[in-house]
Amino acid sequence: MQQQDQDIRQRSIAIFDSACKKAGLNYTIHHDKNFALDELLKESIYSDLLVIGAGETFNHYKEMVPSAFIRHVLVAAQCPVLVVPDKYQAIERIMLLYDGKPSSVFAIKMFNYMMPWMREMKTEIITIHDPKDRPEFPDDPLIKEFIKCHYPNAIYTLLKGDPQEQIPAYLKTTAPESMIVMGAYERNQVSRWFKTSMADILINELAAPVFIAHQK
């Protein structure tokens, strides 16, 4: 079994090596032998972006998505994290989740810095309000001025109701062809409605990549 594991690792390295050379990318392959989580979090300090599979567990046990390993990574990573589904699907739209809090704006900034080539894609800014409150975007027009600088053709969607119900329900209509951007898993002040469980729900229920960044 150990030899089989080694063979799988070698084949995976060969595939990665070939893909990077074909794309003209500089890369380094590490063969860490220490505890995977500790090594990963340490390397995230010196990384621009961490890409990880939504179903990753780093053990032989089947777990609910997202696993405890993924949740721990999202809490402690020192760089933005892109959680990707098992099957690749071409991205046609960017969904920016915004709640007026610094964490959600920070996530949009980091996404813009990391993936500037996606500025020309269809982009939608989504927020939600309590039915008892006045229906408006938080800090409008500041958010619209900021978005216009980077995503001038973006459209705005204002939902109402329970975020944990309305956000996933709305995204399910477009998520398979979309990338979702959100601020979550903050260490201190958790965003009012983009809290940990929201990211868990989206990763679990949607077959879409989720870009997550939080301020330390």
- Write out pLDDT tens, residues 34-70: 667 888 899 999 999 999 998 887 766 677 778 888 8
Task: Check: CB of residue 213 under 8 Å from CB of residue 101.
Answer: no
Residues in the chain: 216
pTM as predicted: 0.86
Look up the CATH superfamily of 93-212: HUPs (3.40.50.620)
Beta strands in 44-177 (DSSP E): 50-53, 81-84, 93-97, 122-129, 155-160
Collapsed DSSP state (helix, strand, coil) of residue 154 = coil
Chain-centre distance for alpha carbon 104:
12
Q: Domain limits of the chain?
A: 2-84, 93-212
Task: Check: CB of residue 203 under 8 Å from CB of residue 83.
Answer: yes
Task: Check: CB of residue 73 under 8 Å from CB of residue 43.
Answer: no
- Write out pLDDT tens, residues 69-85: 888 888 889 999 999 99
In 3D space, the residue among 44, 66, 107 whose CA is nearest the CA of residue 199 turns out to be 66
